[in-house]
Amino acid sequence: DLATALNDRGQVRYLRVEFAAALQDFTAAIECQPGFEVPYYNRGLVRYRLGDFDEAMKDFRKVLELNPQFEDAALSLKQTILDKEEKQKRGY
């Protein structure tokens, strides 16, 4: 289906470090199928890599709302919170 195809293309772009294009694909996949948790997770990973911790946390929380058993999302959310706190302690 289209949402899966967009998510898959986004993953290829993510691996190529084409983050802006990957974000577009993951967002398009979400728009196609809002209940599909995987593109939220993948978009959260891109946002995390870009240092956009607040938006990454929103995506990881949405994954867990859709699928509470998604362990990687729970771990990523915890790591994002820790990194955001560390960034704030350092003052940047």
Tens of pLDDT along 78-90? 999 999 999 999 9
Specify burial of residue 73 (Cβ count, 10 A radius: 0-12, 13-18, 19+).
buried
Cβ distance 70 to 41 under 8 Å?
yes
pLDDT digit string (tens) for the chain, length 92 residues = 999 999 999 999 999 999 999 999 999 999 999 999 999 999 999 999 999 999 999 999 999 999 999 999 999 999 999 999 999 999 87
pTM comes to 0.95
Q: What is the CATH number of domain 2-91?
A: 1.25.40.10
DSSP helix, strand, coil percent of the chain (3-state; round to 5): 80, 0, 20
- What are the sequence ranges of the domains in the chain? 2-91
